[in-house]
Amino acid sequence: MMTAERGKRLTLEHVSKRFQREGQAAVEAVNDVSLTVEPGELVTLLGPSGCGKTTTLRMVAGFEQPDAGRISIGDDDVTTLMVYRRSIGFVFQNYALFPHLTVFENVAYGLRVRRLSESAIRARVRQVLELVGLPGYERRFPNQLSGGEQQRVAVARAVVVEPQLLLFDEPLSNLDAKLRVQMRAELSRLQRQLAITTVYVTHDQEEAMAISDRIAVMHRGALAQLGTAEELYRAPRSAFVAQFIGRVNLVESRVLGITGGRMAVALWDSSLGVPAGAGYAVGQRLSLVLRPESLTLVTDSTKAGEGEVVVPGVVRNRTFLGEKVEYAVEVGAAVLQIVSYDPTRRGVIDVGARVGVACDAAAVRVLGAAP
Amino acid sequence: MRRDPVLAPAVLLVWGAVGLFVLYPLGRLLVLTFWNAGPSLDAVRGLVGDWTHRAALINSLVLAALVGVAGTALGLGFALLAVRANLPRWLTRALDAVVLLPLISPPFTAAIALIFALGPRGLISYHVFGLTRVNIYGLSGTLLSETLTYFPIAYLTLKAVLANVDPNLEDSAFSLGARRWRVFRTVTLRLATPGLANAFLLVSAASLADFATPLILGGTKFPVLPTQAFLQITGLYDMRGGAALCFLLLIPALAVFAGQRWFTERRAGSFVTVTGKVGAATRVKTLSRTAVVALALVCGVIVALVLVCYLLIFAASIVRGLGADNRLSLAHYAHVFSGGLKAVRDTLVIAVICMPVGALFAVVLGFLVSRTRFPGRRTLEFAAMMNYALPGTIVGIAYLVAFNDAPLALTGTAFILVVCYVFRYSLAGTRATSAVLAQIDPSIEEASASLGARRDVTFRRVVLPLVRPALLAGMTVLFIRAMTAISATIFLVSLSWSLVTVRILEGITNLELGQASAFSVLVILLVYAAVVVASLAMRRLNAGSLGQAGTLLGG
């Protein structure tokens, strides 16, 4: 019963929502967001606080009504449907367990509302409590549970009704760091096992990358970019996405020449060949994405390899983190972040040392270019 | 949330009820005052020409101001002693228990007791001090009796206010070199100022509305508005004159109510004394030993007076005639349980019906105003509060005007008595509901909705169980008020439905003080029992903050 593919496709078409607070200008919380979540897929809405991700989720749930646009679950338009008529499971940031009910009654709540028989309720509650690893907890009250246990009850309560859509609103933000990592693995396993279409809201990019099939990065109420974690990391379409997904050095550059499918761009005083982006013209200014781990420090700044650019710099800061060392290296007027792994084998460079920063052409991306 | 199939009918139902039982009677009252085959000011003009009525207006205002000042001062003394004097716990508890007595007693209690204690042949005035020229009737007696009856309101208000003044603030003033009196003046009292104003207005409002005390102690030389309105109607059968007197009373009552609301709403913004976490526990040092002793002396005298009053009531109920024939006798109780039994039974029946009806109304109203959005929400909240805020005499006369004839000839029925109590005394439950709901994250209700529960199902399965403490608090207040109220319902009783409080009044006017005392003792015992049961139940519900009976009755 719990393994069948029963997730439905979720579609958002040009959804907008503005909030009007007393005596203040209206705030455009969500602005023309279109998004499709495939059956059984887990899509994360990722962004800083105030980017509209939670409002979007709450509109999907039906807690808020969009001012414009259309939301469909499967083939049904649910834009104005009351919450309780949508088949959803919602996991709240604070879990929102009913404090006056036991774990059993909390989980059974949705089943009782659906008027299932007592024996069916008992069987399904037991099954789902086993699924989340809480057998034997039936008679406890929420205030007798740890944060992680409350989290599991909240998930059990949401999935026991076999919803067409599972919605998570920053479910792990109240847990400590270690538990967060453990719980996100569990949530991911559970979601795959149940194959319920899921929308997951978080501001933690690592969490998003760990559990999502695809990530929708949101910025100021709009959808900035949608793609797999790898796509977003490798080919960010905007400086915002590049900076939000992982760490990045954005280097100003311009197009030196275009030949066939490739173009030459300036990197410091050298020229670098990269795949040509659509719509670029010679002389146009652009930004290059250089990830800290794709830059290497070399002791000899004059010897560049094939397809490689080397520029001299000075190490200004160094943070030793065990498996890696983070450097801040001054190159011209800019400071580059560089990560070097396995310091035990490769050694550590001192602050103040003159070094060369080597950059492989294959690792350079033009901002906004196709992956 | 739009398109909710349950919200609109619920709002309409509550609006309908409030419209019929709050706005309609008040409207009829105003129409009767200002409409006599055309707009007319004759009724009001008639009042101004009459010496008694002019005096009644002035007396009411003066009395309210004096009782307000005296009650607030006394309340402040008790509150300081309770929260700033480091008294042992049992002593504060005992203080609370004694102070609670006047709040839950039937009306007249303090008045009768004062006649026993300080009357022409009073126990204290005549038998202890041998005074013969003490006059308990008039302004002084009414003032004393009302102060003793209403200072607990100020005490409960100020106790909460002072408890929220963080002692660490006083410590920081000490650390800056201020001495005790200066710290008390510039920090403690300064932070409690809005609370003091609020307490003054609450006590004044209670005095303005008090009908029972001046009826007994005012006499003919000290008329006040509620008693004059009562006499105009029951004595002279002059409904229009009574309505006009009500209008005179309405103006200061509304002014006091508006002022009180202004202070309570401002208090939230101006002094943020209620911080979630109190700083390091510190011993309060603002009161010197001398100050504590002085306060204890004053409060001790008051406590003794209150206790003597109640002992006298009890004594009067078990002797033939206190002061004249002091032989023990159970005759008064025999009367209560024979001829008086019907009134006791009627009162209990009405109280018991009021409890669930009123508590449910209170919770629904509290839920609607604090958890839903609909047009006219604030207006509904205000309208529902009217009957509570206005003096009972006004409400009673308005009901009499509105419901005495067809199409709604309801006076004298149990129904109208229940309705009167429900719309007058549900507010405590509504406030308790709002307070409980404020502590419950709205996501709990959203969780229920996301699991497929409609608004009404969520209300029944989630909200109602969570607000059980508020429900209980609301029911307790309704029970206490139904047992002890008189000012409004005296206009609505009949031969078929009578009330204990009305029998007490009859006992007093027929000079059967022993019987009145026996009825009073019975009511006090019943109400005290209810308070104890409610407190125990509260403790089981883990509702600490609402658990004290005091909070049920304060404000």
Collapsing DSSP to helix, strand or coil, A363 comes out as helix
Q: What is the pLDDT of residues B2-43, one digit of tens each?
A: 456 778 888 899 999 999 899 999 998 888 888 777 777 777
Asked if residue B213 lies in contact with residue B141, where contact means CB atoms within 8 angstroms, the answer is no
Cα(B507)–Cα(B482) distance, integer angstroms = 19
Second-level CATH architecture of B41-273: Orthogonal Bundle (1.10)
If you ran DSSP here, which 8-state letter would residue B292 be given? Answer: H
Q: What is chain A's pLDDT, residue by residue, as a tens digit (371 residues)? A: 444 456 789 999 999 999 877 667 788 899 999 999 999 999 999 999 889 999 999 999 988 889 999 999 999 999 988 888 888 999 998 888 888 889 999 999 999 988 999 999 999 999 999 999 999 999 999 888 998 999 999 999 999 999 999 999 999 988 888 888 999 999 999 999 999 999 999 999 999 999 999 999 999 999 999 999 999 998 888 889 998 998 899 888 888 888 877 888 888 878 888 877 667 788 888 888 899 998 988 877 666 677 788 888 999 999 999 889 999 999 888 899 999 998 888 888 889 889 989 888 888 888 865 44
Task: Give the number of residues written for chain A.
Answer: 371
A67 to chain B, closest Cα gap in Å? 12
Q: Report CA A209 to chain centroid distance, whole Å.
A: 5
Question: Inter-axis angle of helices B24-34 and B42-49, to 10 degrees?
Answer: 70
B542 touches chain A (CB under 8 A): no
A114 touches chain B (CB under 8 A): yes
User: Per CATH, is A247-366 categorized as 2.40.50.100?
Assistant: yes
Q: What are the residue ranges spanned by the domains of chain A?
A: 10-236, 247-366
Q: Is the complex ipTM higher than 0.90?
A: no
pLDDT number for residue B278: 42
At B545, is the pLDDT very low, low, confident or very high (cuts 50, 70, 90)?
very low
A26 touches chain B (CB under 8 A): no
Q: Does B443 contact A96 at a Cβ distance shorter than 8 Å?
A: yes
- First-residue to last-residue Cα distance in chain B: 33
Listed in sequence order, the residues at least 6 apart from A125 whose beta carbon sits closer than 8 Å to its beta carbon are A104, A107, A108, A111, A138, A156, A160
Name the nearest CA neighbour of B332 among B195, B150, B517, B88: B517
Q: Does A100 contact B466 at a Cβ distance shorter than 8 Å?
A: yes
Name the nearest CA neighbour of B420 among B477, B481, B471, B377: B481
Q: What is the pLDDT of residues B189-226, one digit of tens each?
A: 888 888 888 889 889 988 988 888 888 888 778 888 88
Superfamily of domain A10-236: P-loop containing nucleotide triphosphate hydrolases (3.40.50.300)
Q: What is the pLDDT of residues B241-256, one digit of tens each?
A: 888 888 888 888 888 8
pLDDT number for residue B554: 39
Strand order in the sheet with A365-366: A270-275, A262-267, A249-259, A285-290, A365-366
B6 touches chain A (CB under 8 A): no
Phi and psi for A312 in degrees, rounded to 5?
-75, 150
pTM (predicted TM-score): 0.76
* Residue B391: C-alpha distances to residues A361, B250, B485 (Å): 86, 8, 12
Identity of the residue in A90, A97, A113 whose CB atom sits nearest the CB atom of B453: A113
Q: Which residues of B touch A89 (CB under 8 A)?
A: 450-451
B463 to chain A, closest Cα gap in Å? 10
Cα(A296)–Cα(A349) distance, integer angstroms = 12
